Amino acid sequence: MTGSEKRLVGFLLFEGFELLDVFGPAEIFGMLDRKFEVHIVGEALGAVSSAQGPQAVVSKRLIDCSDLDILLVPGGDGTRIVVENEAVLSWLASSADKFEYITSVCAGSAVLAKAGLLDGRWATSNKMAFEWVESQGPNVNWVKKARWVEDGNLWASAGVSAGIDMSLALVKHLHGEKLADLAAKGAEYDWHRDADWDPFSELYEYTRN
């Protein structure tokens, strides 16, 4: 892409997705609409129910997503079903090379792991569900104490609100700290800038590998 083009950011929806995993990062990228264009993507067009109940609407099918630059896979109770969805896993595996960045929030890393995208890579996840997520990717280098983890073009965050910190860090990585600061202030969000900051790992008695 050229410097004048927007990066297209796709948020993968499935039944039982976690609301803030999607709409926290979507707020960050969406308010920077000169640099990013947000899309809600999924297997089929239409409404998809979140783990909390409210629905969101898929406006772009996976088969039409070859133009995305950034993909974000959220967590939520629905990940336990998606890790058995061969259509979604196959799409992820076959499409991975097309994306500039692939990111996950919370247990979304379990989906990436099950698709084989994290084998031999570093990643993290929600600490409450960490053991289950680990089981989906035995060949992944799981980091038990991290707010988010960057491994090349694969970025994974811990639970729920950590996705906002990761998204701001990605904005900083792509466009500089000034723009990331602008987004954080616009959202009145207290941005945790240290990827190693993770009080929740201690709460669940995890330590860094």
* DSSP-derived pairing of the beta strands 70-73 and 7-12: parallel
Q: What is the pLDDT of residue 203?
A: 78
* 28 located within any domain: yes
Q: What is the pLDDT of residue 110?
A: 98
Helix (H), strand (E) at residue 11: strand 7-12
Q: What is the pLDDT of residue 4?
A: 58
Handedness of CA 156, 74, 36, 197 (dihedral sign): negative
* 46 located within any domain: yes
Cβ–Cβ < 8 Å for 117, 98: no
* 1 located within any domain: no
What is the DSSP code string of 112-179? HHHTTTTTTSEE---STTHHHHHHT-TTSEE-SS-SEEEETTEEEE-STTHHHHHHHHHHHHHH-HHH
Q: Which of 106, 133, 170, 195 is catalytic?
A: 106
CATH of the domain at 15: 3.40.50.880
Helix, strand, or coil here: 89?
Answer: helix
* 2 located within any domain: no
Task: Give the model confidence (pLDDT) of 153-184 as tens digits.
Answer: 999 999 999 999 999 999 999 999 999 999 99
Domain hosting residue 85, numbered range: 7-202
* 125 located within any domain: yes
Domain tally, the chain: 1
**At CA 181, angle to CA 118 and CA 169, rounded to 5?**
10
106 is catalytic: yes
* 85 located within any domain: yes
Which residues in the chain show pLDDT less than 70? 1-4, 206-209
Q: What is the pLDDT of residue 207?
A: 57
Q: What is the pLDDT of residue 1?
A: 59
Q: What is the pLDDT of residue 202?
A: 81
Q: What is the pLDDT of residue 185?
A: 97
Cβ–Cβ < 8 Å for 185, 153: no
